[in-house]
Structure 1
Amino acid sequence: MRPTPWRSKMGVDGGNRGSALETEVDVVVLGSGAAGLAAAVVAAKSGAKVLLLEKADVFGGSTAISGGVVWIPCNALMSGVGISDSKEQARAYLGKVLGNKIRWDLVDAFLDNGPDMVDFMHAHTELRLIPREHAPDYYPDIEGASTGGRSLDPQIYDGRKLGKWFAKLKRPIPQFMVFGGMMVGRKEIDQLLGTFDSPKNFLATARLLALYARERVSYGRGARLLQGNSLAAQLLKSAIDAGVELWSDCRIDQIELVEGRAGRVTLNRQGQAQSVRARSGIVLAGGGAAADAAGMRAHLSWPDHHFSMAPQTNTGELQKLAVALGASIDDAVVDPVNYAPVSVFREGSREIRFPHLFLDRAKPGLIAVNARGRRFVDEATSYHNFVRAMIAQPDGAAVPAWLVCDAAFLRQYGMGLVRPGIGSRKRYLAAGYLRKGATIAELARSIGVPEEALTEEISRHNRFAAAGHDPDHGKGGNAYDLHQGDPRHSPNPCLGPINRAPFYAVAVYPGDIGSTRGLITDDQGRVLDRERRPIRGLYACGNEMNSPMAGTYPGAGITLGPALTFGYIVGRSLGLQTRSRETPKE
């Protein structure tokens, strides 16, 4: 039996003005990041009529501005790069990393369904994921860790396949693009920096720039999509192909119970009050509450010096609406957010934030120091652990912390917003974002740390760099560090001298790339009430649900992997419910 057609008092598309409009579908999905789009696509592919509502005026959520990596142990693609894995290995690893905060029902649901999700997406949607042959988990020395294969990248994607919808795809963070709108990955960065190293590099760069020039004329940006923008684009295209109806600019006002289950959403769309009835269920996938500064304040160590990279629309309204129906927020997490160190550039009333994920900290010739001018962390460690080390310093001595390098490092690798190469740095120096000193002592005075301590610390580090071993903090001492370093540098890809004047520094603060505190759910993504019973018809996935990783960060892609997987679980369940309801009883 076909789903009941949409019903509207004033038109199918809900675009008319006047009195409130009412629409009826099988599934309503709130949010258009990886989790929401996955749930919508799978439910639609399973026969449900799906309406997706997005708060912003563009689609893609935090996924579209992310690195796009998806962490799925035991996926079938691993064998293609010669890597084997098992659920037992992944389970052992997560058990050690998550510790006593672990919820095994969520972990097992993730491990059991993640590989199926990848298979489904490859068989039935536009999405294609490519395993990283070498991508060590973030705790490479723990039992069950993998050196590669679990982290998957979205394929490079042609945004022009979206047609008119390309203009509705959220753009990447400008800081991660070059020439005003061209996306580049690590491979492209190396190629661009080495343009004149060989005829091959020169021709490759010329082709890349020619393609970008044509696309910018037509679309105002490059259409060659990488990372999270590629992932969001492929999921968006899959939703369109599956017949999912997509509405943007939607402010959700209320979720109502209908006959004892979550069954109606009231909203305001572009100034028009509307109501949507959901016959099978409502999915909360709005990205969580990381951008709700007031709501997060009590859960952060340094709320006045914390800078979230989450979209400004991720303010937790959907969680609050669920709590009004009896749901609870999970506080049983190791950390309330997925941390990342963030530098902040201010120019007049303008503020630009930059997350220091992998481009600079692990490279040879950089150290991080606290207010005493002393190193306090393995600079190459994961972004999450780097901030944990900042917060752990007594008396806020590492808030902010200073990333310190020399002229050779800055030219070769860049630091934060300051790009590598020989371009002008006057703007960053004038704003105080980049600090400079002709000598180390002068730099120390510029950043307000003891001259003697910083001079001694850099001298000590330089000895470690020459020996290729860091006995103080172990930088470059494990597989993850080495993967993030510069393989062309020896004897240690993560350790290099700081000795070529002038010297530079950038301040970094605690920040995040998303929240981990979410609605308490079961292993099917059903939102639970305060007595841990499912609220009928109400589901959550992505950062709206309690973190399956319990607020830890085991590897690259551990937010998007569970987001896609639980979106898949929820979408499949709602599709089955829709088919069951429509099957005539004998």
Structure 2
Amino acid sequence: MTMKASPQWDDEVDLLVIGAGAAGMATALVATLQGLNVRLVEKSAQVGGTASTSAGTLWIPGNRQGIAAGYHDCVEDGRRYLRELVGNDYGWAAREAFLSAGPDAIDFYMANTQVQLVSCGKHPDYMDRPGSAVFGRALVPQPFDGRQLGSQFKNVRAPIPEFLIFGGMMVGKDDIPRLVGRFKSLSNFVYSGKLFARFLFDRLRYPRGTRLTMGNALVARLYASLLDAQTPVQFDTGLKELVQDNGQVLGAVLESAAGQLCRVRATHGVVLATGGFARNSALRKAFIPYAVPRSVACETNQGEGIEAAMRVGAHVNVAEHSPGGFWTPVSDTTRKDGSKGVFPHLSLDRAKPGLIAVNAKAERFVNEANSYHDFVTAMLACGGDAVPAYLICTIAFIKHYGLGLVPPGASEHQVKKFAEQGYLKLADDLRSLAALIGLSPDALARTVKRYNDNAAKGVDPDFGKGSTELNRFNGDPAVTPNPCLAPLLPGPVCALAVWPAEIAGSTGLAVNEHGQVLTAQGTVMPGLYACGNDMESVMKGTYPGPGTTLGPALTFGYIIARHASGSGAGEQSAPLAVPQAQLS
């Protein structure tokens, strides 16, 4: 039975979800399908948050889609792997909830929504440890036709410009080799022509291409499902404060972009999914022990959810293994409108043979083919010596593999244009290049000679480039005996500065296995949930594989919605009691 709103409230719902990123949309969607009256509010004019610019991969050990595709995996192996990385420390109950509910959550989305996912097949975990998987553990969304959204397509946040070609066309990882090799075969030419023709037709009606892939496909599928379920999405509305009485969160005060306030009673709880504190300078200073001014996160992730929860007594757990964030190296870009941006160096260039990364001493400091998170962890461990670091390669390398913004297949003239624009440094030889970027020519020559001598043998005794499943997966299988190693040959050489940036938060509000927010004493705060980057990472700062943030985001959206609706384990089966003072 729904309780009548008191005069103190302007409105009343069962569940109030604040933030329309992947986690918030997932929570609102499942809760609606479980029969709750849900309101989803979003501070900006678009859904998607940081997820809209991501690869869209979900890390779900034991998912049945991978098993059905013929790849062996199980939850127990995922559990073993996480224990190897994280240990048995505080927070295991939430990790266990993620592991146990993950496959069921995916099955629920697949059966009841437009969120359709397929197995990546081969996509190795990021560490070779007991329990790690090479196949089947990662899932990706199927591409989505944005035209299905009609006029609502404008409400889906676009990827960052650095990930679009021709000013608005999305391409997936599998599209790249066919586009680069468009003149090498008839099938590639036809495939590329169809993509481009579709994009040209789209631009007659839409501000960008409507063939959505990766994270943009995921958030568009979530949004389409919300529209199907008739879940209200209130844009340009943010959280001002939580309303609490005797330790119980009763609802929230919302604020529109015009400054209008609205007090909403939430009988089954408030869910914080505001995206974390990536753009909040005070919280960054408090929780990130490094000087990392760059971020790939959505600009609207100002930390209001975490701040509001802290004001009413919630506890923030700082990740033990990587305090503050999950990382990626980025290069600085200047966009066509003159604004500044970044290009995340995730997997397309660093692992390829013929590239090294050096610090201010012109020395290698890391296995360049490691995951983006582990690459930056090594940067930060060097202190100021590796911030920035420099990716060193030849023009021949860039022509073949690309480098950051410079696409594979670029001509020498195109590479020179990027150098003229200041994106990278270009020189005829290593010693001249070292002088351009302020490194010791002798030191860089020594580093390259040692690397070349070992690369010719196919081994990297210093850092093990090419020694792991992930390394080899992102390398070039045509290069033997090591797909990640090849000498830097004489000729024009390039250097590109890369900086640390965080892609998501590893630190967030402490929660239990139901997603309920906890106090510093470990007690539940009735009526308050957190998920996504507002919630502490169940990985405790480790980065086990592709989809480390989105897998838990969609899983805990499912867990929270079922708990609030009374259909999950340990469920809250009735509306939260309202203190008598609130009913007078």
TM-score band by shorter chain is: over 0.9
Paired position in structure 2 for 1:429: 419
State the Cα deviation string for residues 200-226 of structure 1 (Å, max 9, x = none).
111111111111111121112111111
Q: Are positions 1:77 and 2:61 aligned together?
A: no
Paired position in structure 2 for 1:38: 26
Paired position in structure 2 for 1:23: 11
SS in 2 for 1:217: coil
Deviation at 1:541, TM superposition (A): 0.6
Paired position in structure 2 for 1:215: 202
Paired position in structure 1 for 2:340: 351
Paired position in structure 2 for 1:465: 455
Paired position in structure 1 for 2:544: 554
For 1:551, give the aligned amino acid.
Answer: G
Deviation at 1:572, TM superposition (A): 1.0
> What is the CA–CA distance in structure 1 between the aligned matches of 2:333 and 2:289, rounded to whole Å?
22
- When the two chains are superposed, the root-mean-square deviation of aligned CA atoms in Å is 2.1
The 8 Å contact of residues 21 and 51 in structure 2, kept in 1 or not, is answered as yes
> What is the CA–CA distance in structure 1 between the aligned matches of 2:91 and 2:521, rounded to whole Å?
17
Q: Are positions 1:120 and 2:122 aligned together?
A: no
Q: Are positions 1:87 and 2:80 aligned together?
A: no
The 8 Å contact of residues 302 and 510 in structure 1, kept in 2 or not, is answered as no
After TM superposition, the structure 1 = structure 2 runs for residues 159-558 of structure 1, keeping only pairs within 5 Å, are: 159-257=146-244, 261-271=248-258, 272-303=260-291, 305-335=292-322, 336-346=324-334, 350-393=339-382, 395-420=383-408, 421-422=410-411, 424-425=414-415, 428-558=418-548
> What is the CA–CA distance in structure 2 between the aligned matches of 1:4 and 1:92, rounded to whole Å?
45
> What is the CA–CA distance in structure 1 between the aligned matches of 2:286 and 2:251, rounded to whole Å?
32
Q: Which runs of 5+ in 1 are unaligned?
A: 10-19
Deviation at 1:264, TM superposition (A): 2.1
The 8 Å contact of residues 408 and 500 in structure 1, kept in 2 or not, is answered as no
> What is the CA–CA distance in structure 1 between the aligned matches of 2:290 and 2:418, rounded to whole Å?
25
Deviation at 1:331, TM superposition (A): 1.7
For 2:147, give the aligned amino acid.
Answer: R
Q: TM (normalized to structure 2)?
A: 0.93
For 1:402, give the aligned amino acid.
Answer: Y
The 8 Å contact of residues 242 and 249 in structure 2, kept in 1 or not, is answered as yes
Deviation at 1:240, TM superposition (A): 1.4
SS in 2 for 1:323: helix
For 2:429, give the aligned amino acid.
Answer: T
SS in 1 for 2:390: strand
> What is the CA–CA distance in structure 2 between the aligned matches of 1:102 and 1:408, rounded to whole Å?
49
The 8 Å contact of residues 72 and 135 in structure 2, kept in 1 or not, is answered as no
Q: Are positions 1:566 and 2:556 aligned together?
A: yes
Deviation at 1:87, TM superposition (A): 2.4
State the Cα deviation string for residues 510-547 of structure 1 (Å, max 9, x = none).
11101111011111000112322111110001111111
Q: TM (normalized to structure 1)?
A: 0.93
State the Cα deviation string for residues 17-64 of structure 1 (Å, max 9, x = none).
xxx992221111011111111110110000011110111111111111
Deviation at 1:424, TM superposition (A): 2.5
Query: What stretches of structure 1 move > 3 A for 4+ residues in a row?
Result: 298-302, 346-349, 425-428, 577-582
For 1:136, give the aligned amino acid.
Answer: P
The 8 Å contact of residues 66 and 118 in structure 2, kept in 1 or not, is answered as no
> What is the CA–CA distance in structure 1 between the aligned matches of 2:361 and 2:352, rounded to whole Å?
23
Paired position in structure 2 for 1:12: none
> What is the CA–CA distance in structure 2 between the aligned matches of 1:302 and 1:430, rounded to whole Å?
32
The 8 Å contact of residues 70 and 152 in structure 1, kept in 2 or not, is answered as yes
Deviation at 1:95, TM superposition (A): 0.5
Deviation at 1:242, TM superposition (A): 1.4
For 2:101, give the aligned amino acid.
Answer: N
> What is the CA–CA distance in structure 1 between the aligned matches of 2:308 and 2:356, rounded to whole Å?
45
For 1:97, give the aligned amino acid.
Answer: L
Change in CA separation of 1:242 and 1:139 when aligned onto 2, cut-off 3 Å: same
> What is the CA–CA distance in structure 1 between the aligned matches of 2:522 and 2:275, rounded to whole Å?
23
The 8 Å contact of residues 70 and 559 in structure 1, kept in 2 or not, is answered as yes
Deviation at 1:259, TM superposition (A): 7.4
The 8 Å contact of residues 91 and 512 in structure 2, kept in 1 or not, is answered as no
